Amino acid sequence: MTDSDQGSERVDVDRQTDRELTGSQRRAERRAGIALAVAIVAGIGLFVVYFAGGQTQVEGVLFAIAFGGLGVALGIWANHLLDAREVVEERHELTSGPEGREALEMALTEEIGPVIGRRSMLLKLLAGAGGALGLALLLPVLSLGPAPGDSLKVTPWRRGSRVVDEEGEPVELNQVPEDGFLTVFPEGHAGAADAQTLLIHVRQGSLKLPPDRMAGVPDGTHVAYSKICTHAGCPVGLYRAESQSLICPCHQSQFDVSDGAKPFFGPAARPLPQLLLGVDDENVLVAQGDFTEPVGPAFWDRGR
């Protein structure tokens, strides 16, 4: 931009096209300039903040101002300071047309030779080899993981496994207060994901279980269920003591502890499997065996 004297008037002249900036363009230029100046200050500010030790909030704001200032300037430039005109451009035919496709076919088949034309043995063997090789190339994928086997159907709980807390300390009868609960594991496998079990000390007489299952509830009050939600596998860690029910935080399935942990609300379809307990001669709780059904969410061959 140069100033040119035209009498007593000062006029901004665009050197390239030698046209004057209009009033609104001058204002736009000024606004864009301010935006860029702000961006520069913010950029310098970033250097200061960073070398002073950095601060997440200030850095974020300064980056936003710097980028935003540039963005504003370019937006103003695009909308007010360009000479851009609306342009009409014709669309070309997208298709190559039948001639074009024919030419392609010619190019592909012209020199291909006699073998491809007939249904030759060679072609069939080629297909067979391709298939066999293709499948074989997939073999390394099978190395990605072990066969499931029955690993989903067993846990480390065994007959006589002592009940321990997550730090491996044995849990005795009445150690957990009434209306209390605890996450427990079999001894030697504290922290094992599939063995995680809830030990709940319910109020005397509140359980409604059939006799064979009550036999696994020492004192009629210490009941144990798998902690793995039978819906999608989250740990059901929320125990509501007053209503003696569990709620899973993931999808809000609710299980009635007094009634064999049957689900009474939410998407879970099956109760939490019960772990039958006994007490050994040191008053420590022990398991009577593994869970009687697979724990956790359902899968295809769960019932076999």
Compute the distance between CA of residue 158 and CA of residue 170 in angstroms, rounded to an integer: 15
What's the closest the beta carbon of residue 20 comes to another protein, in angstroms? 19
What's the closest the beta carbon of residue 53 comes to another protein, in angstroms? 7
CA geometry: angle 163, 164, 170, nearest 5 deg: 95
CA 53 to chain centre: 34
Pick the closer one to another protein by CB: 121 or 137: 137
Pick the closer one to another protein by CB: 41 or 241: 241
Nearest to 194 by CA among 246, 165, 153, 149: 153
- Please, are residues 49 and 63 in contact by the beta-carbon 8 Å criterion? no
Compute the distance between CA of residue 109 and CA of residue 289 in angstroms, rounded to an integer: 72
Compute the distance between CA of residue 61 and CA of residue 177 in angstroms, rounded to an integer: 52
| Inter-CA distances, 242 with 24, 103, 224, 245, 287, Å | 72, 81, 18, 8, 26
Pick the closer one to another protein by CB: 105 or 166: 166
Pick the closer one to another protein by CB: 156 or 220: 156
CA trace torsion 62, 63, 66, 72 (10° rounding): -110
What's the closest the beta carbon of residue 281 comes to another protein, in angstroms? 20
Pick the closer one to another protein by CB: 13 or 232: 232
Pick the closer one to another protein by CB: 136 or 144: 144
State the Rg of the chain over Cα.
Answer: 38
What's the closest the beta carbon of residue 279 comes to another protein, in angstroms? 16
Pick the closer one to another protein by CB: 6 or 22: 22
What's the closest the beta carbon of residue 301 comes to another protein, in angstroms? 6
What's the closest the beta carbon of residue 198 comes to another protein, in angstroms? 10
Q: String of b and e for 131-166 (b: at least 16 CB within 10 Å)?
A: eeeeeeeeeeeeeeeeeeeeeebebebbeebbbbbe
Return the H-helix or E-strand segment holding 202. Answer: none
What's the closest the beta carbon of residue 120 comes to another protein, in angstroms? 34
CB-based burial label for 200 (10 Å; 0-12, 13-18, 19+): buried
